[in-house]
Amino acid sequence: MAAHEEDRSADLEVVRRVRTACVEADGHDPLDEAASLALEHRGLAGASLWVEDAPDGGGFALVRGDDLVLAVAPDARGRGVGGRLLDRAVDAAGPVLAWSHGDHPAAAALATRGGWRRVRDLWVMRRAVAVPLPEVEVPDGVEVRGFRDGDASDAEQVLAVNAAAFASHPEQGDLDAEGLAERMAEPWWDPAGLVMAVDADDRLLAFHWTKQHDADHGEVYVVGVSPAAQGRGLGRVVTLAGLHHLAGLGVAEVLLYVESDNTAAVHLYSGLGFTHARRDTHAQYAR
């Protein structure tokens, strides 16, 4: 059923239970960060939600804009829950995009049945911090520093470089001031972890936004290089500076997300010791 005002709390509780069960069983949250933040800050405003509630967890389908998130609790799988939810969501929403976090075979089967096609593969690459890191070699005329919390200029420059660097990226390129503020309000936000390479006039050339998930895990969250500063090796500089920052926090592993066909980025990260396992693949489907 689509969520109405009077049953919103009950439906959101189903979403919470199913997400928890999926993370515990699959190791992946069915909601990515953008979907999770939207649910946290805007609830179901502008979204449609269908749920199947059951003692074994049930499932849910959430549509916001063109994006579909569908998840079934592990104990409820194999009973047609996913198919029923998919039919309801697609009938109401029309063409949508959907991610399969962890590239689950059940998602591939649903996609085939519904005539969806696989359009993107997003890799998770990982690196053990115990592997020694090269030193950071900063070019002349460049300074590497942390973000200055509360500095409007730093925030504006990060947004501008991010927009230019990810102009063709369907998710990252849409980051705006509201989205930046939401992320900076998260418990993991650390100004020192947003590493910036600036020139002598304090103009941002490149940045590496790191993220510490917990005591043992860090993330290469975003690496952006201004198009005007490309070709100078600054992506490697800020990536290494951020990795040294995460190592200093004591994490044991650093992960990152990268498009499988971004050969330049995959080459950079592979050269820094990151590896990819087949199970660490997120697939996007379109209909």
Domains of the chain: 5-115 (3.40.630.30), 126-278 (3.40.630.30)
pLDDT at 7: 57
Segment 26-65, tens digit of pLDDT = 888 999 998 999 999 999 999 999 999 988 889 999 999 8
**Exposed, middle or buried, 265 (CB in 10 Å: 0-12/13-18/19+)?**
middle
Give the residue among 33, 35, 55 at the shortest CA–CA distance from 43: 35
pLDDT at 171: 77
For residues 126-162, one letter each, b for 16 or more C-beta atoms within 10 angstroms of the residue's C-beta and e for the rest, the string is: bbebeeeeeebeeeeebebeebeeeeeebbebbbebb
Q: Which residues of the chain have pLDDT under 70?
A: 1-7
Q: How many CB atoms lie within 10 A of CB 187?
A: 6
**Exposed, middle or buried, 283 (CB in 10 Å: 0-12/13-18/19+)?**
buried
pLDDT at 6: 52
Q: Which amino acid is at 121?
A: D
**Exposed, middle or buried, 241 (CB in 10 Å: 0-12/13-18/19+)?**
buried
Instruction: Tell me the Ramachandran region of residue 130: left when phi exceeds 0, alpha when psi lies from -120 to 50, beta otherwise.
Output: alpha
pLDDT at 92: 76
